[in-house]
Structure 1
Amino acid sequence: MPARADATGVSGTSRRKSSSMEFGVATNCAPNEPVVLNGYEFTFDACAIKGKRPYMEDRWCAVLDEDVGAFVLAVYDGHGGSAVSSHLSRHLAREILGEDTLRTDTEGALKRVFKRVDDQVCLDNPGNMRGMFGTPGAGSTAIMAVIIPPKMYVANLGDSRATTYDNRGSVTFESADQRPDVHAEKERIVKEGGFVKRGRDGTWRTGGILAVSRAFGNAGIKKFLSVEPEVSVIELDMVDSMILCSDGLTDVMNSKMASETMRAAPVGATSSSPSPVRTRRVANSLVTLARVRQSRDNISVVVLQSRRLNGALAFPSLETPLSLTKTACRTPTTVQYDPAASAQEDPNEHSVSVSLVVKSGNIRVVCDARATKMSSRGTRCEASDGLSTPMPNVDRESTQAITPIGLVQAEAV
């Protein structure tokens, strides 16, 4: 289990503190409690088990920073021990949220922070290599989702995986595993002076040791391993749910099977909103099914439910120039007023003159009334004496169309 995280690691006035749970850390958020960011609502849950391994090396994290306006979820699959994956679960997301250029250059910020953190974990875990033999030191893969509405950035390093689904259960995105048997990865390893070789179990391995081509740590063979993540940008409106997981799940279950498991999980009382019951049951069901299918690895799963709030306003960031900010004011196509009775009905009554003034988003209804009697249609227009404000008789349909736009005021002229 990782050490308890420091509760002061994330800036801002978020409502919660850090808490260490089994094989993971949640900061300023909690499993199965709604998180609202800039017009979107999210609910997440995590489930992790040791599997048939002698010890647990996987870790996960969830970090919310309301001041930055970002929500980070990640799964780390450690190897050679849990030292690197534990370090990442406590520090990597915080380093990313503290990067000044996160909102303006998200991809560049992710790559810079990955490199900086990797330098530190390699220094702390040097390994014990003798040429191409020995122990390369602890390492870890990483699959991370950085949510900055209305976009989500997925950073992939290694063979952990992210899969997103729409509301019909169809896959809208799936990260590609970075393994040494992938042609482009093999070419890069050889170009950097390394080699790829089959291990005793038939798995292609970098330097004959590691089954991935990109990872944090593994200082002994670092010159053959890349720490540059593959970053993908996803529109949140295309995401109904997402699964982040270690290869303990994907080795025995494809995306279609995971989708069927997710759709089979009961939806909450309101199907249009993220359901804590659903996320909890999906996370547990996926892990349980992986065990049933004889996965021998550690298994970690983080499930996210996402939805856009109805009628929510997505405000521009503080860095957005005013000239690029558009303000829309919807006005009704026609506005019909019921005037006072005509002079033919009663020569003592007069018509009411009404004008509509729109200024700075507000609407003023200005009346010019001099009639002193009740009209046949029920409009009372008293002479303006400073104590009462005459109002015209407005059709109900027109009133409903006007009111939501802004403040309606009536003045006597």
Structure 2
Amino acid sequence: MSFSSQDSTISQGEYSDRAIPVKRRASQGVSSELKPAIVRTAPRGLTVVQNSHIGRVRQHNEDAWLVLDLSYRENDAHVMVALLILADGMGGHASGDLASALAARTAAACVMQDIMPSYLSPEVAGTPHYSLHEALVHAVQVANETVYRNLPHAGTTLTMALVLGRKAYVAHVGDSRAYVLENGTLRRITRDHSLAARLVETGQTISEEMVGQRNILYRAVGHSNTIEVDTYTESLFDGSCLLLCSDGLWSKMSDAEIAEVLMGETDAQFAVNKLIAMANERGGEDNITVILAVCNEG
């Protein structure tokens, strides 16, 4: 992964700025006929699995992942609470693996300090007095400042999903991706902050040279002392699957192929392992990391 000094003009993702308390609502959403097999066989509540592989070419794995599953049972209901973080250190830059790990840990520490207490502690009741999106943006900004200060010339992507009940709040920088699978269709949530993606968004033609430079980023954690962060809100339903992955996966598999694996496999961990194996079979030129969260209310 590489980055460019070109400034971003892409606006933030649309989102609702209201902090929503963790409550279980009436079941809705995904048709039972279109529930992935991994949902039908998963235990009730939230199941989170992950895996990472160095690939077949790289000498080091510069991807990092961090998962905190704090889901709990209350009043005969499974309340989903989890933090999923994926970071892809920049190949060719010094300390890419250190940058990704540092960014993931720093962002997680901020979320645990700023958001989780009001949802998990009976001593902190009610809705937080700050926006969840503001808190997630702050977490990424602190991670950015920490990487920028401690690892000069290093950089990383950072994609983070905070699951609180039936909502997933996403903060994103770089070209790792977050997807949601519902009713048999895989839909991308995030936008790539790469030069090639920017050309596509502005309707420009991508030259053969640009195809080979797909991984050049114009926005990355550690690039400068300030950073713009995209934020999104997604509703989750019984049968939804939330997937985070590095470009080592999505550059080798289409959305339809990823959806086919998730819809067809009966074991969530096996599905993640199969996605990674398929990316490796197609060359495995990059590190491959996948995090999968499966929502099953039974």
- In the superposition, the TM-score normalised over structure 1's length comes to 0.51
Deviation at 1:231, TM superposition (A): 1.0
User: Could you say what the CA RMSD is over the residues aligned between the two structures, in angstroms?
Assistant: 3.1
Deviation at 1:94, TM superposition (A): 2.1
Q: Deviations over 1:293-351 (max 9, x none)?
A: 11300000111111235xxxxxxxxxxxxxxxxxxxxxxxxxxxxxxxxxxxxxxxxxx
Residue number in structure 2 paired with 1:280: 269
Give the aligned residue type for 1:259: A
Residues 8-23 of structure 1: pairs in structure 2 closer than 5 A: none
Match of 1:148 among 152, 161, 164: 164
Deviation at 1:92, TM superposition (A): 1.5
- Native 8 Å contact 1:241 1:305 kept in 2: yes
Residue number in structure 1 paired with 2:179: 163
Residue number in structure 2 paired with 1:320: none
Residues 132-143 of structure 1: pairs in structure 2 closer than 5 A: 137-143=153-159
Residue number in structure 2 paired with 1:93: 108
- Native 8 Å contact 1:172 1:238 kept in 2: no
Residues 324-363 of structure 1: pairs in structure 2 closer than 5 A: none
> For 2:236 and 2:161, how far apart are their aligned partners in 1?
11
- Native 8 Å contact 2:89 2:157 kept in 1: yes
Residue number in structure 2 paired with 1:46: 50
Deviation at 1:160, TM superposition (A): 0.3
Residue number in structure 1 paired with 2:264: 264
Deviation at 1:173, TM superposition (A): 4.4
- Native 8 Å contact 2:46 2:71 kept in 1: no
1:203 has 2:213 as partner: yes
Q: Deviations over 1:136-166 (max 9, x none)?
A: x111101111001121112221100111111
Given the superposition, is the C-alpha separation of residues 69 and 99 from structure 1 closer, same or farther in structure 2, using an over 3 Å criterion? farther
> For 2:283 and 2:157, how far apart are their aligned partners in 1?
22
Query: Unmatched 5+ residue regions in structure 2?
Result: 1-41, 73-78, 119-127
1:111 has 2:137 as partner: yes
- Native 8 Å contact 1:180 1:186 kept in 2: no
- Partner SS state of residue 107, structure 2: helix
> For 1:100 and 1:147, how far apart are their aligned partners in 2?
11
Given the superposition, is the C-alpha separation of residues 185 and 124 from structure 1 closer, same or farther in structure 2, using an over 3 Å criterion? farther
> For 1:261 and 1:185, how far apart are their aligned partners in 2?
28
- Native 8 Å contact 2:238 2:295 kept in 1: no
> For 1:184 and 1:239, how far apart are their aligned partners in 2?
35
Larger helix proportion of the pair: 2
Residue number in structure 2 paired with 1:59: 64
- Native 8 Å contact 2:87 2:158 kept in 1: yes
Give the aligned residue type for 2:87: Y
1:71 has 2:72 as partner: no
- Partner SS state of residue 175, structure 1: coil
Given the superposition, is the C-alpha separation of residues 55 and 199 from structure 1 closer, same or farther in structure 2, using an over 3 Å criterion? farther
Residue number in structure 1 paired with 2:191: 176
Identity %: 24
Q: Which has the larger radius of gyration?
A: 1
Deviation at 1:172, TM superposition (A): 4.4
Query: Unmatched 5+ residue regions in structure 1?
Result: 1-33, 127-136, 188-196, 205-209, 268-277, 310-413
Deviation at 1:261, TM superposition (A): 1.3
Q: Deviations over 1:247-293 (max 9, x none)?
A: 0001111211101111221x2xxxxxxxxxx1111110000000111
Given the superposition, is the C-alpha separation of residues 288 and 119 from structure 1 closer, same or farther in structure 2, using an over 3 Å criterion? same
- Partner SS state of residue 217, structure 2: coil
Deviation at 1:50, TM superposition (A): 0.6
Deviation at 1:120, TM superposition (A): 1.5
- Partner SS state of residue 195, structure 2: coil
Residue number in structure 1 paired with 2:12: none
> Which stretch shifts more, 300-309 or 174-183?
174-183
- Native 8 Å contact 2:103 2:146 kept in 1: no
